[in-house]
Amino acid sequence: MCLGIPGQIVEIADTERKLAIVEVMGVRRQVNVACILKDEPIESLIGAWSLIHVGFAMSRINEEEAALTLDILRQLGEAQEEVEAMRASERMLAS
Amino acid sequence: MSVQMKFAEEFRDPVAARGVLAAIARVVDQIGATKEKPVHVMEICGGHTHAIFRYGLDKLTPPGLEFIHGPGCPVCVLPMSRIDEVIEIAERPGVIMTTFGDAMRVPGHRKSLMQAKADGADIRMVYSPLDALELARRHPDREVVFFGLGFETTTPSTALTLLQAAADGQTNFSIFCNHITVPPPIKALLDDPHMVLDGFVGPGHVSMVIGLRPYDFIARDYHKPVVVAGFEPLDLLQSVLMVLEQIRDGRAAVENQYSRVVPDEGNPVSIAACAEVYEPRPTFEWRGLGEIDASGLRIRPKYAAFDAEVKFGVGYGMGARSAAEPEAEGCRCGDVMTGRIKPHACPQFGKGCTPEMPLGALMVSSEGACSAYYQYGGLRLEETV
Ligand code: SF4
């Protein structure tokens, strides 16, 4: 929960609420991007990588850093846990 | 697998790692630290503790360097009374309690959230506080409560979710706030006369939110070095080297090894959202450490409608609290937490207390020192016998 996971922003979901869709290890989910937005339009985030913490994009990182961090999280077993938590939460909401 | 093989397989850049390890050994020597009289470096963050054990960094570094595992796992330091309180709320009719999965197995005085769920309370694991808010939208007839916990990394997400709920006028959503902050327990540890600490490896992701300035007092008032570090083994080793070099040179400064993720000034949007939503509690209890001044956050009165403590009349100052938290028989969680003993010195370690059936919270999360020892350290201990 504390380490978060890198994800790539692929789509904007709600401009007013600052929500975007990120892809994390092949899993897509909605996240809030308020913390990484400066003055630029939200669309400019498409393609950007960010560390995602419990549904919030917290820091923009470059692609290389994203790959490095993902490797570490995989080795620590945290990446799988994080993605499983995302999936389980989605299932819970759908039920 | 031999240490050498592990090394080649697991280090992204084994050559660089070897270089840094050699430099660490040299500086430890220059400091004059030995196995008998080691230099003590505390890693504050539980993620770092996990990485140190996972990569065996404590075994690769010289015996004159000792890692002390800090209180940086939010699940591990949550006092039993807060678990009791969250269960008390969860067991109210009409309530859906939502929580991160990490908190499910933390023991309370009566039971854990997992046991409360088995007993019939509606407790659901969520990945994000946003999912808890979404659940409230979908169940207007129920009271949805989010069990907010974590350090500065997760604190803004709860604040921003609350602000969204307020903007939406969501009336059946509230937060049971247990957010805590890193600097106050560090100050408490530094003020403890039994504590021997020579320097700190600072938390990467917490610092990404708060920046470097909140650690200034450690260098200025206590003359100890702090180096904010990433999670990669090489990041960690480099940060340890930076701490050791400061010690050798008699310097004390706050340095940033992880500047590719951590801006010195932190994240302004997060800082502003937290200032808007929370105020410090006069005091907050930490499992194993006791009450620490201004170490916890509560929701400001202007957002009382979203504060589960107010809504349900449960929480700090609302009921009888045991002043000092009695630990289970034979538990040494407090001593482990303050670095006085290593986890395997606890009589319950691996016997009454395992990750499957934790007695103490340090065994619950993979970031807890006891769980990390159990997962990785135990094996290695046997190898060396
Ligand atoms: S082994 Fe269990 S009881 Fe002993 S210190 Fe660790 S968490 Fe506490």
Q: pLDDT tens across B18-47, in order?
A: 999 999 999 999 999 999 999 999 999 888
B346 lines ligand 1 (CB under 6 A): yes
Q: Is the pLDDT of residue B326 over 60?
A: no
CA distances from B296 to B177, B209, B280 (A): 9, 16, 6
Q: Which residues of A touch B45 (CB under 8 A)?
A: 2
Reported residue count of chain B is 385
Q: What local confidence, expressed as pLDDT, does residue B105 receive?
A: 87
Which residue in the set B51, B150, B267 is minimally distant from A1, CB to CB? B150
Q: Is the pLDDT of residue B131 over 60?
A: yes
Range scoring the smallest mean pLDDT among A9-18, B334-343, B375-384:
B375-384
- Given a contact cutoff of 8 angstroms between Cβ atoms, the answer to whether B217 and B226 are in contact is no
- Given a contact cutoff of 8 angstroms between Cβ atoms, the answer to whether B321 and B82 are in contact is no
Q: Is the pLDDT of residue B338 over 80?
A: no
Give me chain B's average pLDDT, please: 89
How much is the average pLDDT of B86-97?
Answer: 97
Q: What local confidence, expressed as pLDDT, does residue B375 receive?
A: 85
CA distances from B144 to B8, B151, B165, B172 (A): 49, 22, 12, 6
Asked if B260's CB is within 8 angstroms of A72's CB, the reply is: no
Please tell me if residue A80 touches chain B, with a CB cutoff of 8 Å: no
CATH architecture classification, A5-94: Roll (2.30)
Q: Residue B148 and residue B159: Cα distance in Å, rounded?
A: 10
Residue A87 phi, psi (nearest 5): -65, -45
Range scoring the smallest mean pLDDT among B100-104, B139-143, B190-194, B293-297:
B190-194
Q: Which two tokens stand for residue B93?
A: 């009719």
Asked if A54's CB is within 8 angstroms of B12's CB, the reply is: no
| Closest by Cα among B47, B71, B298, B344 to B197 | B71
- Tens digit of each residue's pLDDT (9 = 90 or more) over B196-223: 899 999 999 999 999 999 999 999 999 9
Q: Is the pLDDT of residue B5 over 60?
A: no
- Tens digit of each residue's pLDDT (9 = 90 or more) over B241-263: 999 999 999 999 999 999 989 99
Q: What is the C-alpha R_g of chain B?
A: 21
Asked if A71's CB is within 8 angstroms of B54's CB, the reply is: no
- Taking the centre of ligand 1 as the mean of its atom positions, its distance from the CA of residue B373, in whole angstroms, is 11
Under DSSP, the state recorded for B36 is S
**Can you give the pTM of this predicted structure?**
0.90
- Taking the centre of ligand 1 as the mean of its atom positions, its distance from the CA of residue B334, in whole angstroms, is 9
How much is the average pLDDT of B330-353?
Answer: 85
Q: Which residue lies with its CA nearest to atom 3 of ligand 1?
A: B331
Which residue in the set A2, A59, A88 is minimally distant from B154, CB to CB? A2
Which residue in the set A30, A61, A76 is minimally distant from B261, CB to CB? A61
Distance from CA of A68 to the nearest CA of B (A): 8
Asked if A2's CB is within 8 angstroms of B367's CB, the reply is: yes
What are the DSSP calls for B84-153, one per residue? HHHHHHHTSTTEEEEE-GGGTT---SS--HHHHHHTT--EEE-SSHHHHHHHHHH-TTSEEEEEEEESTT
